[in-house]
Amino acid sequence: MFTGIVECIGTINEIEKNGTNTSFWISSPISNTLKVDQSVSHNGVCLTIEEVKENNHRVTAIAETLQKTNLGRLAIGNTINIERCMLMNGRIDGHLVQGHVDCTAFCTEVKNLNGSWEFSFQFPFEFAPLIIEKGSICINGISLTCFAVTENSFKVAIIPYTYTHTNMGTISVNTEVNLEFDILGKYILRMNNLKNKLDSINITAL
């Protein structure tokens, strides 16, 4: 479990393909503190640390992960947001994030507002029930608040600190990002769907 508060930016140094899997060697300021078997968020994707060498660490993404996230489109030299799992002994500065990406979205517009930035994203319509105005959204592992929400788009505002301490500064029009919607919305949607089905079964039985 994570909070969406990015700890640092890592850089991809090497990419290894093994069958349908892809392994990434990443250098970051915290790589030498990581432990094998530890769960760490990479661009919002929960991956297991497999090996650590000095300031580099290795993780592997399987075919399912590569298909549903932007990891399969990353290249050597690309930056990636990194967050270690949360400690259950303090404040949650972002929101509860599982590291389970729901889908990817594409940036449609970037506005420089002379002190902040406004990003617009378009996502698959099927996920529309999981996003609300002023709700929480996780983009590439970053906990953000969305606004101007439509059936398949939303915007986020980025302050200078976030712009420089995450890979938001590398996002431009047509850049693909990972999205994870608020887990609370997923549970509520499922409960409502099950309730409607159960009500329908009960009416039919009568």
Mean pLDDT for the stretch of residues 94-107: 96
Vertex 138 angle, CA 175 and 177, to 5°: 15
| Start-end of CATH 2.40.30.20 domains in the chain | 8-84, 103-189
Cα–Cα distance measured from residue 173 to residue 184, given in angstroms and rounded to the nearest whole number: 30
In CATH, the number for domain 103-189 is 2.40.30.20
Helix (H) or strand (E) holding 146, with range, is strand 142-147
For the whole prediction, is pTM greater than 0.75?
Answer: yes
pLDDT at position 205 over 60: no
Helix (H) or strand (E) holding 68, with range, is helix 63-68
Q: Which residue's structure tokens are 């919002």? A: 44
What's the pLDDT tens digit per position in 40-95?
A: 999 999 999 999 999 999 999 999 999 999 999 999 999 999 999 998 888 889 99
CATH T-level assignment (fold) for domain 8-84: Elongation Factor Tu (Ef-tu); domain 3 (2.40.30)
For all residues of the chain together, what is the average pLDDT? 94
